[in-house]
Structure 1
Amino acid sequence: MTDPQMLRAAALESKAWPYEEARKLIKRYPEGKPGGEAMLFETGYGPSGLPHIGTFQEVLRTTMVRHAYEEMTGLPTRLVAFSDDMDGLRKVPDNVPNKEMLGLHLGKPLTRIPDPFGCHESFAHHNNAMLRQFLDQFGFLYEFVSSTDYYASGRFDGKLREVLRNYDAIMGVMLPTLRAERQATYSPVLPVSPKSGVVLQVPVEVLDAEAGLIAFEDEGERITQSIFGGQAKLQWKPDWGMRWAALGVDYEMYGKDLIDSGVLGGKIAAILGGRKPEGLIYELFLDAKGEKISKSKGNGLSIEEWLRYGPDESLAFYIYREPKKAKSLHLGLIPRAIDDYWQFRGNYAGQEVAQRLGNPVHHIHNGPPPAETLPVTFGLLLNLVGVMREASKEQVWGYLANYVPGATPETWPALDALIGYAIAYVRDVAEKPVRRAPEGVEVAALKRLDAELAGLGEDASAEDIQNIVYEIGKAQFGDLGGFAELRDWFKALYETLLGTSQGPRMGSFIALYGIENSRKLIAEALAKA
């Protein structure tokens, strides 16, 4: 157990990015927030489409900064997950049912549009529920806030009144950023039509700032209406700044595509008596084609898709790494993320405090990870399942029981879960193995490997087998010569025995799959030569 003072001292010196971000908050309030108030972290979510990993990563990364701040200061914090669910639906997403029905409600607040899935009060309630379900599953500590609830309940009334009082100043911030034709109709305040229920993009006249009264034209009629009680909302950029000021947000990260919007939001927050929060500007996730992930297009991985083939921790690990670097996000990344996560987790126990704080698993688990390690890699499991063709968990455990004496699903629960992921990944995602015929020196090398394995007992260690494989790769075979480079031998083994371009340590694979089974693979390969 690490001494808390030692941990705090190491955290204050750590270069891991969550601690670097937390230092911004210490600089913001060196003595802590006035009155002992909790440092407020916020993440925003626009529920116009189904939640995706790009949404989830903001909550995860923000939670990591939050925990880092707590480790460094011991001071209280809060995390608000804010849903802009009063926003008007601009277009029908591509990845939802009942598109025609949604098309009838374009422009209306998302909480006033029927759920196309037919299971929630509104479209926003459905998407909000999906987000919360996953955040709860992962164990996040957060407070969910609905924009609709805050507008309707009067929680924003004080700042909305300030918006009307400072209407000209806010227009002075926004108008220079707009095209001439947009300037002519722009208003930071968007009234909700009493006729159609649509969030209107129309000019407004401030009649009485204190009473919250505005006037606007709606279907040819001049309407006088209050902006309180959910009868209006703000354009999203002014809304962002208003929210920062109204809630007293201290930290919010966002993507580089929102840099300019963040600057405008900060100016508006200052006009309204608030202060722009600290935050990390991160790079965006890209799909397999290198295009920006979009909720409406549904071109990114869903949270459910990743978790079909990998555990929570693998997703968190991938999200943790290099937040300021653009990264692709597709199913092919999952095996590497799983194995890298477990490698870092295995290193944790033997590291000094400073190294632990720089280890991704410390931030994924908000402290020391569970003690369980793995006797095999996920990559090795994929290769085993791949050569077995159709495998069950019980069959895979049959091989593992020989490789790891006494291993059972009960003694290795994380491994048992990974076997399930491996079976699913090979079945649904991995390319079907195509084993090519060996040629040239490869034939002689495989014959030599078969002979060497024939002389071993089934209890031969992975290391002993690996040494044999290594020596064969360095050997010469008479007139045939040998391999130009050792990696050519390993590549030949992967392509002729496993049907893949990359693979595991062959000593480990042969020990796991069994010597007799491995000799059968060699025989099948040689029969093609």
Structure 2
Amino acid sequence: NAMLRRFLDTFGFEYEFISATEFYKSGAFDTVLLRAAERYDEIMAVMLKSLREERQQSYSCFLPIHPETGRVLYVPIKHVDARAGTITFDDETGREWTLPVTGGQVKLQWKPDFGARWAALDVDFEMYGKDHSTNTPIYDRICEILGGRKPEHFTYELFLDENGEKISKSKGNGLTIDEWLTYASTESLSYFMFQKPKTAKRMHFDVIPRAVDEYHQQLRAYPTQTVEQQVSNPVWHIHAGNPPASDMVVPFSMLLNLASVAGAKDAAGLWGFIKRYAPEASPEANPQLDQAAGFAVRYFRDFVAPKRVFRLPDDRERAAMQDLVARLRVWDGGLDAEALQSLVFAVGKEHGFEPLRDWFKALYEVLLGASEGPRFGGFIALYGLEESVALIETGLNGDLVA
């Protein structure tokens, strides 16, 4: 319960928290429980259809709570007195008891409980995972039997790990909310969750950077969109129709690559590079960027650094990188990311890389220890000309491999 409430508070939900135990004990559920006693046969007819023959012999929608031990008993019910609102049963020792269904002295089995809650609380919308979908007709019918109106449903698909396998607690192959929020904002997780809820999605640490950058791309697009486009934009829904402006002048993926080469231990270690690239930016004026910089350092340390594998360039790659160093040494075009990207592009083309992505892949593998990375011109603009030259020379010397 505490974890659920912390989640609701973190994401700004307005809610009234109701403990199921207190709901039974307080008498708030009594009217529906008495109705369940009155309509016991109808409920049982629904439930027995869904059970194996062996289970049918002992099943009851009511679970008595032993008056002496407080244990929930899974025992056959001998008699239901609808008029008195009581049930009669034998406990494990054979002793017969008669208890009222009210006042928290019984519980409902979980499937009838689902429908009973809808009826008692007048629930008009319920969303749940695909694993519940086969039971939806049961929940709905029991809700109706108990005098309620079945709610509108929304069933979302389950999540998969990076290998496309179902996430399970026993395997420990999932990604928790707390883990996501260690490396990215609540809004990035809301954005990820909003996308294609009826499609099974891979949810693992590698999806976090893309979710962060796509969320900010949508924020930047929002002001220029038509009203129709805005209400189709995920950020309109995430922020209840009033999304903030994005102050991310540097993408999260670029911050990760900057963290890779800057040796920063916190956000402050990246800000020297950021301010040179975007002089008007500051932690105070760009709080989203400042937060993302801290997340990037943490994410790099925990996930990128352990997986980096550097290599030496082959002869053609070495010649191209030496050419790039020579051109950067005499570059007078400032820190224009697009112009620098064109320069890097031209070097690769002149050295016969086909397709050109092989050239960029070589840069990433030799200099960043990864098979993919940022637009390299933007990286040079952010990291700096002199620093980029020094990095390339370090890669050519083999020091990164060592």
Are 2:74 and 1:204 equivalent residues in the alignment? no
Identity %: 52
Q: Is the 8 A contact 2:264 2:270 kept in 1?
A: no
Are 2:366 and 1:496 equivalent residues in the alignment? yes
RMSD: 1.7
1:447 to 1:296, Cα distance in 2 relative to 1, 3 A: closer
Are 2:57 and 1:187 equivalent residues in the alignment? no
Report the Cα offset of residue 416 of structure 1. 0.4
Q: Is the 8 A contact 1:474 1:483 kept in 2?
A: yes
Secondary structure, aligned partner of 1:391: coil
Could you say which residue in structure 2 is the equivalent of 1:451? 326
- What does the per-residue CA deviation read over 1:405-429, in whole Å, with 9 as the maximum and x for residues that have no partner? 1321111111000011001101112
Are 2:46 and 1:173 equivalent residues in the alignment? yes
Could you say which residue in structure 2 is the equivalent of 1:232? 106
Deviates more, 1:448-457 or 1:207-216: 207-216
Amino acid at match of 1:148: T
Report the Cα offset of residue 296 of structure 1. 7.2
Amino acid at match of 1:448: D
Could you say which residue in structure 1 is the equivalent of 2:37? 164
Are 2:236 and 1:362 equivalent residues in the alignment? yes
Could you say which residue in structure 2 is the equivalent of 1:285? 159
- What does the per-residue CA deviation read over 1:147-166, in whole Å, with 9 as the maximum and x for residues that have no partner? 11211111111111111111
Report the Cα offset of residue 210 of structure 1. 3.3
Deviates more, 1:287-296 or 1:457-466: 287-296
TM-score by length of 1: 0.72
Residue segments in structure 2 that go unaligned for 5+ positions in a row: none
Could you say which residue in structure 1 is the equivalent of 2:227? 353
Report the Cα offset of residue 391 of structure 1. 3.3
Amino acid at match of 1:519: V
Could you say which residue in structure 1 is the equivalent of 2:303? 429
Could you say which residue in structure 2 is the equivalent of 1:460? 335
Secondary structure, aligned partner of 1:376: coil
Query: Superposed, which structure 2 residues align to 1:288-303 within 5 Å?
Result: 288-294=162-168, 299-303=173-177
- Cα distance in 1 between the residues matched to 2:332 and 2:139: 70
Report the Cα offset of residue 284 of structure 1. 0.8
1:213 to 1:296, Cα distance in 2 relative to 1, 3 A: farther
Q: Is the 8 A contact 1:320 1:360 kept in 2?
A: yes
Are 2:379 and 1:509 equivalent residues in the alignment? yes
Q: Is the 8 A contact 1:164 1:206 kept in 2?
A: no
Could you say which residue in structure 1 is the equivalent of 2:289? 415
- What does the per-residue CA deviation read over 1:136-176, in whole Å, with 9 as the maximum and x for residues that have no partner? 12211122122112111111111111111111111111112
Secondary structure, aligned partner of 1:252: strand
Report the Cα offset of residue 331 of structure 1. 1.4
- Cα distance in 1 between the residues matched to 2:267 and 2:219: 24
Amino acid at match of 1:489: W
- What does the per-residue CA deviation read over 1:303-357, in whole Å, with 9 as the maximum and x for residues that have no partner? 2111000000011011000000011222121111111111111111110000011
Q: Is the 8 A contact 1:309 1:424 kept in 2?
A: yes
**Equivalent in 262, 265, 281 of residue 388 of structure 1:** 262
Q: Is the 8 A contact 2:335 2:384 kept in 1?
A: no
Q: Is the 8 A contact 2:277 2:335 kept in 1?
A: no
1:309 to 1:290, Cα distance in 2 relative to 1, 3 A: same
Secondary structure, aligned partner of 2:254: helix
Report the Cα offset of residue 295 of structure 1. 5.7
Query: Superposed, which structure 2 residues align to 1:32-431 within 5 Å?
Result: 128-219=1-92, 220-294=94-168, 299-431=173-305
Q: Is the 8 A contact 2:222 2:233 kept in 1?
A: yes
Q: Is the 8 A contact 1:188 1:238 kept in 2?
A: yes
Q: Is the 8 A contact 2:157 2:199 kept in 1?
A: yes
- Cα distance in 1 between the residues matched to 2:139 and 2:171: 27
- Cα distance in 2 between the residues matched to 1:369 and 1:210: 56
Secondary structure, aligned partner of 2:123: coil
Deviates more, 1:280-289 or 1:337-346: 280-289
Could you say which residue in structure 2 is the equivalent of 1:484? 354
Query: Relative contact order, CA 8 A, sep 6+: which one is greater?
Result: 1
Amino acid at match of 1:173: V
Amino acid at match of 2:69: S
Report the Cα offset of residue 294 of structure 1. 4.5
- Cα distance in 2 between the residues matched to 1:248 and 1:428: 46
- Cα distance in 1 between the residues matched to 2:250 and 2:304: 19
- Cα distance in 2 between the residues matched to 1:413 and 1:268: 50
Q: Is the 8 A contact 1:383 1:504 kept in 2?
A: yes
1:229 to 1:291, Cα distance in 2 relative to 1, 3 A: farther
- Cα distance in 2 between the residues matched to 1:171 and 1:273: 16
- Cα distance in 2 between the residues matched to 1:307 and 1:436: 33
- Cα distance in 1 between the residues matched to 2:163 and 2:360: 30
- Cα distance in 1 between the residues matched to 2:229 and 2:282: 32
